[in-house]
Structure 1
Amino acid sequence: MILLLPILVYFFICLHILMSQGRSPMAVISARTALLEGGWAHDVRVEIDASGKIVSVLSDQNPEGHKTGILLPAPANVHSHAFQRAMAGLTERKGPDPSDSFWTWRQLMFRFLDRLTPDHVEGIAAFVQMEMLEAGYAANVEFHYLHHQPGGSAYDKLSEMSDRIVAAAAHTGIGLTLLPVHYEYGGCDGRPLGQGQIRFGNDFERFAKLHDQARQTMQYLPSDSRLGVAPHSLRAVAARDLKSASDLAGDGPLHMHLSEQQAEVDEVLAFHGARPISFFLDQCDAGPQWCLIHCIQMNSAESDQLARSGAVAGICPVTEASLGDGIFGATAWLGAGGALAIGSDSNIRISLTEELRALEYSQRLRDHSRASLATHDRSTGRRLFEAVNKGGAQASGRNSACISEGRLADLVAIDDGHVDLAGRTGDALLDSYIFAGDDSLVTDVWSAGRHMVRQGQHIAHDAIVSRYRSIMHELGDAL
C-alpha cells in the first residue's frame, strides 16, 4: 500500500513525463487523408492547443508539423475490468462442471483476484491502458470494482485501489473515465456477498466516501479525465440506490451491467416481477448519461424502448463470445436510432478492429446476411466506426467523437502505405482497415493531444511491459 504523499509525488513525476514527451504547447498534425465530421478530406492540417483541444481543421494545406497518412477520430474503450487481463488464456479448459459457463468462469475469476495486491493492479492497469492506446483507443472507461483487501477489510485509504488505476493513467497518458463500482449484495434478494465477492462490497454510505476520495485523487490527472459511478448490476445493488448513484454521479457518466445472461433475467423476473430492461426503465430516468453494458438478453420491444431513451449500449463482442453471453441485436438497435459504444470488458483480447469485426460478423451469422450494419450511404466500416466514436464519447463523458474545432484531440493515425490499403479510397479505407487489416496498421495515437503512440508503440512501452512481465511471474499459477 502507498500513502497519499508518495502517490502525489508519483503523479507529478508521471505528469511531467507526459507534458515533456507526449504534448508540446501547440501541435500541428498534417494528414494526407482524414475522416472529418463532414466526410473524407485530403491534405488536412489539424492544430491542437495546450489543453488538448482542436483549434483548427483545414484541408488542401501544405504539410507541416507531424506528418501522417490517414487520420481518424480515436474512440473510447467504454468497458474494462483491467485486472482480468492477467487471466487471459487461463480459463480455456473444462472445469469439473461439464456445463462450463459464465458462472463457472466467474468462480475462477474470484479465485484469481484474491492474489492481487495494489501494486499488481496498478501494473496490470498500465499494461492494459498501453495496449488500448496501441490498438487505437484514446480513452479507457474503467469499471472498477476491486476495492478491498483479500478477506474484505478496507485499505487504510478506502480509494487505494481506485488510486492505483489513476496512477496507471498518469503513467500511460490515456484519457481516463474512472467508474468506482457500487456492489453490495450477492443477489436480488439482498443476500450477503459470497467469499469471492467480498473485496468488492460496500454499503452505499461507505461507497460514497470511497467515491469522494477517488474524486480528490483524480484532480491530479489532466483536465480531460472524468469520474462517474457504476452500480454494478440489478443483482448487486438495491433498487433504491439507483437514484442515489445518479445523485452521486452529478453530471458524470453512469454505467451498469444489464441483461447479460439468461440466469440474470430469470432472477430479476422472479424477484421483481419484470425483466431487467423493463425494471431498469421503471426505476431510472434513463437518458444520455447512462451506458448499459451488454444488453444481450433483450426482446424487440425492450430494445426499442431503451434505444429511444438515449442511453448508450456498451457492447463487448469478444468477451461476450468468450463467455457465451449471446449476440447483441445491433441491426435493430441502430435501426431504432440507438447509441452504440465498444469495450474490451475482460481484456482477454484488446483489439479495436477485432471488436468491430466480431460485432458485424455476429449479425451476419445470426441473420444469414452480409453487410448487416451498412446503410445506403455508409459502408459497414464507416457506420461502425462513426457510431462507436459518437457513442464512446457520450459514454465516457468526453468531448471527442470527431475531428472538429473545439473537440478533444482524440486521434489515431493509420499507415496509408500498408499493403491492405493499397488502391483504397474513401469508405473502402475503413472497411479494409477493419475487415482486412488489424491494429498493426496504427502508427500514432493522441489522447487529448498527448502523443502517446509513435511508430506503432507507446512511448513508455518497454518499461510498462517489463513491469507487467514481473507481475505475471509473481502471480505464477494463480488459477
Structure 2
Amino acid sequence: MSNLFFASALLPDGWAENVLVTTNARGRIGAVTAGAACPADADRFAGTAVAGIGNLHSHAHQRAIAGMGEVSGDGSDSFWSWREVMYRALDRMTPDDFQAVAAQLYVETLKAGYTAIAEFHYLHHDRDGSAFSDPAEMSHRVVAAAREAGLPVTLLPVLYNASGFGGTPPTSGQRRFINDGARFLRLTGALRAAYGGDDDVRLGIAPHSLRAVPDALLGETVAAHPDGPIHIHVAEQRKEVEDCLAHHGRRPVEHLLATQPVDGRWCLIHATHMTDTEVRGVAASGAVAGLCLTTEANLGDGFYAAERYLGLGGRWGVGSDSHISVSPVEELRWLEYGVRLTSGRRTVLSGGPRRSTGRRLVEDAQAGGAQATSFETGRIAPGRRADIVVLDTGHPLLAARTGDALLDGWIFSGNVPLVSDVVVAGRTVVRDRRHPREEEIAGRFKKTLGRLLG
C-alpha cells in the first residue's frame, strides 16, 4: 500500500480539498478520503489533481518528421503529398531508431498530461519489406520504449493489406506495413503470449482503413479477435469518401456501420466527413470518435461535426496522431475553437448554461480515452488505476483560481505547460516537470535524428 496526498482534487462527485488516495501494489486505488490529514509516509503534492487523459491515437515513428513536409510542392499539397514525405522518412529507420524516437515521444507525452497512449502501430517489417526473424520485433520496441518512459501503452498492431479500395496492390512506400491475414494472426498471437498479463500493456487491433483492408479480410480479422479494442481510420479525407462511394456505393462511415459490429470496443479515428445520418449512427453505436485536431488541421483534413455529435451524447477522445503537438491542451482547445470559428458563438461545447467548457472537455476526454485505451482510468475513484495529473496551482496563469476555473485556465490560458507532476499506477513518473530519464532519452533521440535526417 502507498499513500498519495493532494492539496485538492477533482473527484467523481466534485472538487475536494486535502485528498488522500491510497493505492495497492498494482497501482489501483483502494480508498479516496477528502478532508484528510496528511500521513507522514505520504507522497505529497502541492497542486490540484485530476485523472489522467488517455492519448487514443499515436503513430510514434512520425515524431521523427514533425515539422517536415511544410515546404510547398509544385502543385496543390494535401494529405496525399505529405504521406509520400512520411514514407521516405521511414526508409532508414531501424528498430533501435524506432525505439529511440518512441521513447522520446512517450516522455513528452507524460510531461504534457497524458497518462496512457494507444499506439496504432504499422511499421512491422525491415527496411526492404522483409520480415524480421521475430515478426513482432517492432511491436516489442513499442513496449520497450513505453517501459523506458513509464507510460502505459495500448498496443494496436495494424493490419495493412492493400493501397486502395478493391485490393489495389501496395506501393513500394508501404512495403514495411503489409501483412496478409495469416501473418497478422501470427503477430497478434505472439503479442498475446508476450504481454497478455502485463498490467501496463493492453492489446487490441487496428485494421488500418477500409481502403487498406478489404471487407472479407476485415470481417475475418474482427471475428478472430473477440476481445480488446478495435481502432480504424475512417472518412479522414474527401478523396477517401469519393473512392468509397465509387467502389461500395456507400460513404465510409455508412459502409462500416452497415458491415461491421461497431460497438463500444471500436474507436473511429477522424471520421471527419460524415452526413447527419452517419453522425447519429456513430453516436448510437457506443464507439469512441478519435479526434486528432492538430494533425487534422496540419493535413488539411477538415473539421469534425463536434457540436452535433456531442449534442447526441456521442463518446469521444483525443489523440496526437502525427505528433506535431503532443499536448492534450492544444487538442481540446482547438476542438472548441473550431466550433467557435464555424458557428460564430462561444462556449459551444460546455454542455449547457452556467457550465465550465474546460471541465466538460477534460471529463469527456478522460472518459473517451479510458474507453479507447481499455485502461481503468479517467476518474480518481476506488478500483481505478492511480493515473493522475497534478496541475501547478502556484503558476501565475492559475493564480487565484479554484475548482472549474483551474480547468478553464489549463485549457484556455495560453501555451505554457501547467502540469507539474504525473503519477502512473501510483508511481510518480514526472516530478516538478522533470522525467528522471529525459536527458538520456533526449540524447539518444537527437543522435537518431541526426543520422536519419542529416
Global fold match (TM > 0.5): yes
Where does residue 127 of structure 1 map in the other structure?
104
Q: Aligned AA for 2:37? A: N
- The residue identity in structure 1 corresponding to 2:146 is A
- Structure 2 residue 53 is the aligned partner of structure 1 residue 75: yes
One of 136, 140, 157 as aligned partner of 2:113: 136
1:117 aligns with 2:94: yes
Unaligned runs of 5+ in 1: 1-25
In 2, Cα distance between equivalents of 1:276 and 1:379: 34
Report the equivalent of 1:328: 304
Partner deviation per Cα, 1:277-304 (whole Å, 9 max, x = no partner) = 1100011111100000001101211101
Structure 2 gap segments, 5+ residues each: none
The corresponding residue for 2:190 is 213
Paired residue for 2:10?
35
Worse overlay, 430-439 or 120-129: 430-439
**Structure 1 residues 330 and 305, CA, compared in 2 at 3 Å: closer, same or farther?**
same
> What's the counterpart of residue 147 of structure 1?
124
Counterpart Cα distance in 2 of 1:241 and 1:401: 34
Structure 2 CA distance for aligned equivalents of residues 299 and 422 of structure 1: 44
Q: Matched residue of 2:333: which SS?
A: helix
**TM-fit CA distance, 1:462:** 1.1
1:403 and 1:329 map into 2 onto residues whose CA distance is 30
What does the per-residue CA deviation read over 1:421-459, in whole Å, with 9 as the maximum and x for residues that have no partner?
111121111001110044621111112223211111112
Q: Distance in 2 between matches of 1:451 and 1:244?
A: 42
CA apart distance, 1:474: 1.0
Range with greater deviation from structure 2 (309-318 or 326-335): 326-335
* Partner AA of 2:10 in structure 1: L
1:395-430: CA deviation from partner (whole Å, max 9, x where unpaired): 001111111000011100011111111111211110
Counterparts of 1:175-324 in structure 2, within 5 Å, are 175-219=152-196, 222-324=198-300
Instruction: Report the Cα offset of residue 330 of structure 1.
Output: 1.2
Match of 1:60 in 2: 35
- Aligned to 1:28, the other structure's residue is in SS state strand
In the alignment, is residue 46 of structure 1 matched against residue 21 of structure 2? Answer: yes
Cα distance, 1:78 vs. partner? Answer: 0.4
Which piece of structure 1 moves more, 209-218 or 411-420? 209-218
SS in structure 2 opposite 1:458? coil
What does the per-residue CA deviation read over 1:8-61, in whole Å, with 9 as the maximum and x for residues that have no partner? xxxxxxxxxxxxxxxxxx321111111111111111111111101000101011
Alignment identity in percent? 46
Aligned equivalent of 2:360 = 383
TM-score by length of 2: 0.97
CA drift at 1:224: 3.5
**1:214 Cα deviation after fit:** 2.2
Q: Is the 8 A contact 1:57 1:405 kept in 2?
A: yes
> Shift of residue 215 of structure 1?
2.3
Q: Distance in 1 between matches of 2:415 and 2:22?
A: 28
Contact 2:166 2:214 in 1 (8 A): no
Q: 1:244: Cα distance to partner?
A: 2.4
1:148 aligned counterpart, secondary structure? coil
Q: Structure 1, residues 283-338: CA drift from partner, whole Å, max 9, x if none? A: 11111000000011012111011111000000000000000001111111111010
Displacement over 6 Å in runs of 4+: none
The answer to whether the Cα contact below 8 Å between 1:135 and 1:439 also exists between their aligned partners in 2 is: no
Matched, 1:350 2:326: yes
Which residue number corresponds to residue 393 of structure 1?
370
Q: Would you say how many aligned residue pairs link Structure 1 and Structure 2?
A: 450
Structure 1 contact 166–218 (Cα < 8 Å) conserved: no
Give the match for residue 21 of structure 1: none
Residue 457 (structure 1) aligns with: 434
Output one character per residue of 1:104-131: Cα deviation in whole Å (capped at 9) or x when no partner. Answer: 0001111111111111111111111111
Q: Secondary structure at the match of 2:417?
A: helix
Distance across 1 between alignment mates of 2:426 and 2:233: 31
3-state SS, counterpart of residue 72 of structure 1:
strand
Cα drift, residue 377 of structure 1: 5.3
For 1:90 and 1:333, how far apart are their aligned partners in 2?
33
Give CA deviations for 1:125-153 in whole Å, capped at 9, x if unaligned.
11111111010111010000010112211
Aligned mates of 1:142, 1:208 — CA distance in 2: 18
The residue aligned with 1:165 is 142
TM-score when scaled to structure 1?
A: 0.92
2:385 corresponds to 1:408:
yes
Contact (CA 8 Å) 2:422, 2:430: kept in 1 or not? yes
